[in-house]
Amino acid sequence: MKGKTLLGRYEIIDIIGQGGMAFVYKAKDNLLNRLVAIKVLKSEFNDNEQFIKKFKRESQAAASLSHNNIVSVYDVGVEENHHFIVMEYIAGDTLKEYIQQKGHLTWKETAYIAKQIALALDHAHKNNVIHRDIKPHNILMAEDLVPKVADFGIARAITTSTITLVEETMGSVHYLSPEQARGGFVDERSDLYSLGIVMYEMMTGRVPFDGDSSISVAIKHIQEEIEFLEEDLDHIPEAMEDIVLKLIQKNPEDRYANARELIQDISAAQSGEKVKNQSQNKKGGILPGILPVAKPKAETQQVKRKKEKPIYKKPIFWGAIVLGVALLVVLGTVLANMNRVKDVEVPGVDGLERGEAIAKIEAAGLTYEIDPPENNATIAEDHVIRQTPQSGTTIKEGQVVHLVLSAGPRELEVPNVIGKFEVEGIQELENANFVIKEINRQFNDEHEKDVIYDQNPRPGLLLKEGTEIILYVSKGKDTVIMENYVGQSLETVRNAIAAAGLQVGEIREEASSEFDRGIVLNQEPKANMEVAKNTVVSLTVSQGILKTKTIQIKLKDYVEYDKDEEVPTVPVKVIFIDQTTGSNVVYDRMHKADETVNVELQGLGVQYYQLEIDGQTYNAEIITF
């Protein structure tokens, strides 16, 4: 494939990878002058008509997705039985390679990456696209360590037509949801299960289940619960453990209902808050109807955080009962006193300036705490992004309201979109969190129609996200329709050409049978042609109307012959010599040597003519018109 050009546009540069279903190539889009990645299906899929149809349909659905954390799909095509997808080219490593390089990631980095993957899934799920093959191999790390999810929709075509649990699927089976392993119904919660496995691997450096075959790994996903080792929990906060354990519940009903819930909990974990959507059951268990697989040996058995014997078996159990009774008495007293504290409705302070928000909270008889600030493109610096508890909640007087203030928008580098088509440039700027303020369209001789030829502010500047950008888009070359200048005076035509934004080029003169001197006889380009501004126009101008004069040639003065013999026939040529246009044969015939030949000549002013009779050329003679 190297060196081949697909659809006359995509030039294959080199192979950059392959999987069970396709080869991936680095290529150049010669139309838009950019690098792309092209995934070409392996030949064994070409004869599966059902798969090819589904592959095209799902790829086109994926192409409709537009998100900063999703690898863009630009095109889908087929050439010479090569079915392929054209995608955004990402120069970085896969998440799998990134994990292998670092051993394992910190929980904070895991939260950062997982949150962006969840944002990608949230966008896709809202557009009714399920990925079905979330794994670190399908997540590309851009140069700024922004994760981008690839291969949306492709797995659906594969799973419905081609996948069997063999060695080729080992990479995917480690992240397979139980319902996928059983061949059951798949929805957005299946993607969330796979993301949970990816998060587990990011924080521990290993997948939770492994085996000699893909079938054995798939069965473990169905039967065995996933747990963390005690050594893992030394660097993983409980909030992150809770998030992962909820994601990897065997029953989809016990997982997060959607990616948005997951994003909320990851944000809470990043802020040090307790997650809101905790799993009601941290134990995975075995699904009914499946024979259990033998448990690992004791020395390798994974264990949960602080797993203890039932408390009723401990010696202190009965002492705790006595202590509990005493605590109930104290608790009753506290509750009684609490009942005397006034209930207060939490005021709404979202969007307010810090001082105004604090004053409003204190006026309601409550206290406040300022949590770590967050960047925000729409809420001004030092204004409230959100509050906890929310507005309208009833709490006791004196309790705390937590405030998260805006640190203002981030400073980001303005992308360079000059030379890109308008649609592509707008998408790139909006994905970078800039706002298109205005689009100016002008004619431009250097850029084709709909291509951006300038932008303001200039590319490369560090500006706050949300900054407004003005784009200048080419309307193509400015064109005019050629007028008919024939029959007009040269002076008039010069002025008309300049007024139309054109240029006067070469001016030739020649005699005319129709137009007086100084009148335009011909033009290039011709009338009614569409030409670009500044096109050079060539003109032919009349030297004056041609006049006619007859010359008389007595052949006996030029040809000698014996009078007693038959009169010979001789060739007669007249060559007209115009001082402007040069020599031209105007008469060439055979005549008897005793004839008198009359030849009409046309010209202007003083010209010359030359006779050639019976092969002999005579001196040029002057003729005045």
- Residues belonging to the binding site for ATP are 39
Q: Give the integer Cα–Cα distance in Å for 205 and 216.
A: 21
Among residues 47, 93, 122, 133, the one annotated as catalytic is 133
- Who contacts 548 (Cβ-Cβ below 8 Å, separation ≥6)? 600, 601, 602, 625
- Known binding residues are 39
Q: Kindly state the helix (H) or strand (E) to which residue 422 belongs, with its residue range.
A: helix 422-431
Reading the block at residue 323, the tokens are 């202590």
Three-class DSSP category at 402: strand
Handedness of CA 574, 578, 583, 584 (dihedral sign): negative
Reading the block at residue 232, the tokens are 């893992």
Peptide bond preceding 457: is omega within 30 degrees of 0, i.e. cis?
yes
Length of the chain measured in residues: 625
DSSP code string of 559-601? ----TTSPPPEEEEEEEEEETTTEEEEEEEEEEETT-EEEEEE
- Who contacts 401 (Cβ-Cβ below 8 Å, separation ≥6)? 346, 349, 361, 366, 367, 368, 369, 387, 388, 389
DSSP code string of 65-100? ---TTBPPEEEEEEETTEEEEEEE---S-BHHHHHH
Active site residue 187: no
Q: Give the integer Cα–Cα distance in Å for 151 and 24.
A: 12
Long-range contacts of 184-190 (CB under 8 A, 24+ apart): 186/130, 186/132, 186/159, 187/130, 187/252, 188/121, 188/125, 188/130, 188/258, 188/259, 189/252, 189/255, 189/256, 189/257, 190/130, 190/132, 190/252
Q: Give the integer Cα–Cα distance in Å for 202 and 104.
A: 6
Handedness of CA 492, 495, 500, 501 (dihedral sign): positive
Q: Give the integer Cα–Cα distance in Å for 199 and 222.
A: 19
**Residues with a known catalytic role:** 133
